[in-house]
Structure 1
Amino acid sequence: MEIWRSFQALGDIAFAYSYIISLIEIQDTIKSPPSEAKTMRKATLIIVAVTTLFYMLCGCFGYAAFGEMSPKDLLSGSGFYSPYWLLDIANVAIVIHLVGAYQIHCQPLFAFIEKAAAQRFPDSEFISREIKIPISGSHFYNLNLFRLVWRTCFVILTTVISMLLPFFNDIVDLLGALGFWPLAVCFPVEIYVAQKKIPKWSTRWLCLQLLSAACLIITIAAAAGFIAGVVGDLKSVKPFKTFY
């Protein structure tokens, strides 16, 4: 059981570094000078340092307080409900964080669907028409009905499904496993090798391939932890039920 929980923890940690899918979108919005690469390098260093520090603190303090019985939800899973105002502040902070993170992480998917729809139905006014809404003075907000409808439906659907699935931590493990190696490691490594024209079987090439292989093992382990977690949860809860 402990080995499966360790694998699940790997998935949680991997999910924390899934910001890689948003780097290109963010870099496109950065103004220069200084160069976008220089700005993103500095921002990435800060992000990785803060994320690592945060997760290390949660992991170390959680293990120090509860040992092997550390709950998945440190806020309420440990029976800690007082003072209530402290939990309320923490939950509000989580909501603010998730709202922003949700928007950022979904932007590549939104852009892909909207671009595909525009190419598939180029003459559709519902998809391509932009309604200008005056905000102040000469400033206008461009409202696209297709974007409004489909994004709203997507958010509602994903929210309802996530509420009905009692596998939040396990889903996080799976998403971390699926996105960590291909997007955060393999793809950037291959791009770096091609850009720098690193010869095969050189020392640098071997080190990069070993790094990629090690992260692939982490991904497989996290996926195995997801399966074990779902199997364990199904023994006590039923999905798509509002009461358990």
Structure 2
Amino acid sequence: MGKTSETHDLPLLQAQTADSSFKRTGNLWTAVAHIITAVIGSGALSLAWSTAQLGWIAGPLAVLSFAAITLVSSFLLSNCYRTPDPEHGPGRNRSYIEAVDLSLGEKRAWICGFFVQISLYGTAIAYTVTSAISMRAIKKSNCYHKEGHEAACEYSDTSYMLMFGFAEIILSQTRNLNNVEWLSVFAAIMSFTYSFIGLGLGLATVIENGYAKGSISGVSTSSSIQKLSLVSQGLGDIAFAFPFVLVLIEVQDTLKSPPPETHTMKKASTIAISVTTFFYLLCGSFGYAAFGDDTPGNLLTGFGFYEPYWLVDLANACIVAHLVGGYQVYSQPLFATTEKWISGKFPNHGFLCKDFHLKVPLIPGFRLNLLRLCFRTIYVLSTTAIAMVFPYFNQVIGVIGGLNFWPLSIYFPVEMYFKQKNIEPWTRTWVMLRIFSLFCFFITLFALIGSIEGLIGAKLS
């Protein structure tokens, strides 16, 4: 009997040993940097267009509503980082899927895992598309400056996507999210830089025009069906711009304790979402006020702004630099989950589990893991290939936003909260959260359908 007990406890002891050997050095400000890097991405560039589809009242209101929903879901989810275990006491959940598994069971963990991996993968595709558009915009900006605004400055995205993919293959060899804190800090600085530039250019254009363009109803269309489709795509783009719950627990797992990780994460979420919402409102509003019905799908690459061309170039360079880091923040959790699963299936396979120490002349020594090298290279190549097939900015991010918002930002956090707090059915809290979840479900479904229709239409046109 004693032998059976020792065998049963061995995986737990190994996990505790591995967990204790993992040094967590993150604090409030590194968490804020990770969150800003995850939240402010390619979605921020479409907010002026989204505001234009919804109009002056519904547009800003939608941004504030999605921000509030994201903050609530982040609070619910951060409580799930440490889950009580009846046998062994509180334990850490190293990922979103682990938290769902322990709280809701293996079946729903598999469902959650599907949405998480698809969403992380989709975000990597969106970042590849956006980075290529920004690199192309730099080339076009210089061309317009030399040849005039009416010149035929057309360039392919393909070479720029390949360049971005090559950079991500190299950066993807970093072991985990804890090893790219510096990249998140740098990317957060870049995101603030291009947000300020976009905001400044929009404000300058409004001042130059002498009045704010736009209307209460938003962009006018030829039919109500077309208007409904554009509104749904706008909501999908706003949904994509906010949720960072895909990587919340992974970010929380980088935090040192004390203070408790939950307290630090809630404070970091509040700071980061408040700051990004403020910028989102300003960028969306000034972009719409500057261009009205002619608001471009991407504020900094749609060439509503031509001059000063060097400032447009700088903004797009900052976008690319930010997306290089953002790609890793979203991809590293997927790398960790997949490689952990593969290593668990083949624990004694030297090719998959062994690190090789290499020393190349003039370069510091480094460790090479063949599983990491092969899997992550194939992953980056696949996201690059799909981005080449669907290089449609607003439609792609709308589909991804509509796909992941309700299940990952609403459903699973709410269900885990019910489980952990033992919320009884038909109590006030239960009813309110059910209504909240149902409302978000219909909004997400509406956004997803419209964005898929827009993507198909863009591909066929």
Asked if these proteins are the same fold (TM beyond 0.5), I'd say yes
Distance 1:231 1:160, change over 3 A: closer
* Among candidates 273, 277, 287, match of residue 48 of structure 1: 273
Give the superposed CA RMSD.
Answer: 2.0
* Among candidates 413, 426, 430, match of residue 205 of structure 1: 430
Quick check: 1:70–1:78 contact (8 Å CA) kept in 2?
A: no
Match of 1:82 in 2: 307
Residue 16 of structure 1 deviates from its aligned partner by 2.0
Given the alignment of the two structures, is residue 28 of structure 1 paired with residue 253 of structure 2, yes or no? yes
Distance 1:32 1:80, change over 3 A: same
Quick check: 2:399–2:451 contact (8 Å CA) kept in 1?
A: yes
2:426 is matched by which residue type in structure 1?
W
CA distance in 2, matches of 1:118, 1:7: 42
Quick check: 1:126–1:145 contact (8 Å CA) kept in 2?
A: yes
CA distance in 1, matches of 2:304, 2:438: 40
Residue 161 of structure 1 deviates from its aligned partner by 2.1
Given the alignment of the two structures, is residue 17 of structure 1 paired with residue 238 of structure 2, yes or no? no
CA distance in 2, matches of 1:141, 1:211: 49
In terms of mean alpha carbon deviation, does 63-72 or 181-190 score higher? 63-72
Quick check: 1:13–1:55 contact (8 Å CA) kept in 2?
A: no
Provide, for residues 103-146 of structure 1, a one-character-per-residue CA deviation record: whole Å limited to 9, x for no partner. Answer: 11112211121112112222322210012357xxxx97543121
CA distance in 2, matches of 1:205, 1:131: 53
Distance 1:66 1:2, change over 3 A: farther
What SS does the aligned partner of 1:18 have? coil
Given the alignment of the two structures, is residue 37 of structure 1 paired with residue 265 of structure 2, yes or no? no
Given the alignment of the two structures, is residue 183 of structure 1 paired with residue 408 of structure 2, yes or no? yes
Given the alignment of the two structures, is residue 220 of structure 1 paired with residue 449 of structure 2, yes or no? no
> TM-score, normalised to structure 2's length?
0.48
CA distance in 2, matches of 1:211, 1:141: 49
1:211 is matched by which residue type in structure 2?
F
CA distance in 2, matches of 1:17, 1:167: 20
Quick check: 1:177–1:223 contact (8 Å CA) kept in 2?
A: yes
Match of 2:223 in 1: none
CA distance in 2, matches of 1:133, 1:22: 31
CA distance in 1, matches of 2:261, 2:367: 27
> TM-score, normalised to structure 1's length?
0.88
CA distance in 2, matches of 1:93, 1:160: 24
Match of 1:232 in 2: 457
Match of 1:193 in 2: 418
In terms of mean alpha carbon deviation, does 150-159 or 180-189 score higher? 150-159
Quick check: 1:132–1:143 contact (8 Å CA) kept in 2?
A: yes
Residue 169 of structure 1 deviates from its aligned partner by 1.8
What SS does the aligned partner of 2:246 have? helix
Quick check: 1:162–1:168 contact (8 Å CA) kept in 2?
A: no
Quick check: 1:17–1:184 contact (8 Å CA) kept in 2?
A: no
1:39 is matched by which residue type in structure 2?
T
CA distance in 1, matches of 2:286, 2:308: 19
CA distance in 1, matches of 2:313, 2:303: 16
Any residues of structure 2 matched to 1:99-118 within 5 Å, and which? 99-118=324-343
What SS does the aligned partner of 1:143 have? strand
CA distance in 2, matches of 1:80, 1:59: 15
In terms of mean alpha carbon deviation, does 15-24 or 115-124 score higher? 115-124
Distance 1:126 1:18, change over 3 A: farther
2:298 is matched by which residue type in structure 1?
D
Unaligned runs of 5+ in 1: 237-244
2:340 is matched by which residue type in structure 1?
K
What SS does the aligned partner of 1:122 have? coil
Residue 148 of structure 1 deviates from its aligned partner by 1.7
Match of 2:66 in 1: none
What SS does the aligned partner of 1:21 have? coil
Count of aligned pairs: 233
1:205 is matched by which residue type in structure 2?
W
Deviation beyond 6 Å, 4+ runs, structure 1: none
Given the alignment of the two structures, is residue 127 of structure 1 paired with residue 352 of structure 2, yes or no? yes
Residue 163 of structure 1 deviates from its aligned partner by 2.8
1:90 is matched by which residue type in structure 2?
A
CA distance in 2, matches of 1:120, 1:180: 31
Given the alignment of the two structures, is residue 92 of structure 1 paired with residue 321 of structure 2, yes or no? no
Residue 225 of structure 1 deviates from its aligned partner by 1.7
CA distance in 1, matches of 2:237, 2:449: 13
CA distance in 2, matches of 1:68, 1:173: 19
CA distance in 2, matches of 1:192, 1:140: 46
Residue 37 of structure 1 deviates from its aligned partner by 0.3
Residue 164 of structure 1 deviates from its aligned partner by 3.2
Distance 1:90 1:47, change over 3 A: same
Match of 1:145 in 2: 370
